Amino acid sequence: MSEGEDITCVGFFKYADEGENVELKGDFTEHAVYGEQFKVESYEVKEPEDTISIIRYLGSGAIKGIGQALATRIVKEFGADTFRVIEEDPLRLAGIKGISERKAREIAVQVIEKQDLRKVMVFLQQYGISGILANKIYKKYGNDCYRIINENPYLLADDIDGVGFKTADEIASRVGIHMDSDYRIRSAVIYVLTDAAGEGHCYLPKDELTRRSTELLGVTQEAVWIQTQNLAMDRRLYIKIKGDMTVVYAGAFYHMELACARRLKDLDITADEDEGTIRRKIEVLEKSEDIELEEKQREAVVKAVMNGITIITGGPGTGKTTIINMIIRYFELEGLSISLAAPTGRAAKRMTEATGAEASTIQRMLHLSVSDSDDKGFYFASNEDNPIESDVVIIDEMSMVDLPLFNALLKAIPVGVRLIMVGDTNQLPSVGPGAVLKDVIASGCFTVVSLKKIFRQAERSDIVVNAHKINEGQHPVLDNKSRDFFFLERDNVDLILNNIIHLIREKLPKYVGVEPADIQVLTPMRKGSLGVEALNPILQRYLNPDDGSKRECEVRDVIFRECDKVMQIKNNYRLEWEIRSKYGIPIDKGLGIFNGDMGIITEIDNYNETLTVMYDGMRSVVYPFSGLDEIEHAYAVTIHKSQGSEYPAVIIPLLQGPRMLFNRNLLYTGVTRAKDCVMLLGSRERINAMIDNADEQLRYTGLAESIKEMYG
pLDDT category, 14, cuts 50, 70, 90?
very low
- Give the model's pLDDT for residue 49: 54
Q: Is pLDDT at 117 greater than 80 in this prediction?
A: no
Q: Range with the lowest mean pLDDT among 281-290, 301-310, 374-383?
A: 374-383
Q: Is pLDDT at 199 greater than 60 in this prediction?
A: yes
CA distances from 360 to 107, 475, 505, 569 (A): 40, 37, 33, 20
Residue of higher predicted confidence among 52 and 703? 703
Q: Is pLDDT at 230 greater than 50 in this prediction?
A: yes
- Give the model's pLDDT for residue 83: 86
pLDDT category, 50, cuts 50, 70, 90?
low
Q: What is the reported pTM?
A: 0.79
Q: Is pLDDT at 288 greater than 70 in this prediction?
A: yes
Question: pLDDT (tens digit, 9 = 90+) per residue, 332-364?
Answer: 999 999 999 999 888 898 899 999 999 999 999
Cα distance between residue 647 and residue 677, in whole Å:
9
Over residues 429-448, mean pLDDT: 94
CA distances from 48 to 20, 260, 457 (A): 7, 51, 69
Q: Residue 329, Cβ neighbours under 10 Å: how many? A: 19
Over residues 637-663, mean pLDDT: 90
Over residues 20-37, mean pLDDT: 72
Q: What is the DSSP letter of 475?
A: P
Question: pLDDT (tens digit, 9 = 90+) per residue, 656-686?
Answer: 888 888 999 999 999 999 999 999 999 999 9
Contact by Cβ (8 Å): 261, 707: yes
Can you say whether the dihedral through the CA atoms of 543, 547, 552, 558 is positive or negative? positive
Question: pLDDT (tens digit, 9 = 90+) per residue, 86-95?
Answer: 888 889 998 8
- Give the model's pLDDT for residue 1: 52
Question: pLDDT (tens digit, 9 = 90+) per residue, 471-493?
Answer: 999 999 999 999 999 999 999 99
- Give the model's pLDDT for residue 397: 94
- Give the model's pLDDT for residue 19: 47
Q: Please name the residues in contact with 124: beta carbons below 8 A apart, sequence gap of 6 or more.
A: 133, 134, 137, 145, 149
Angle between helices 182-198 and 165-175 in degrees, nearest 10: 160
Q: Range with the lowest mean pLDDT among 181-190, 373-382, 422-431, 637-646?
A: 373-382
- The closest alpha carbon to 504, from 650, 640, 639, belongs to 650
Cα distance between residue 464 and residue 260, in whole Å:
34
- Give the model's pLDDT for residue 659: 83
Cα distance between residue 658 and residue 187, in whole Å:
32
Residue of higher predicted confidence among 144 and 303? 303
Cα distance between residue 267 and residue 417, in whole Å:
7
Angle between helices 275-289 and 295-306 in degrees, nearest 10: 120
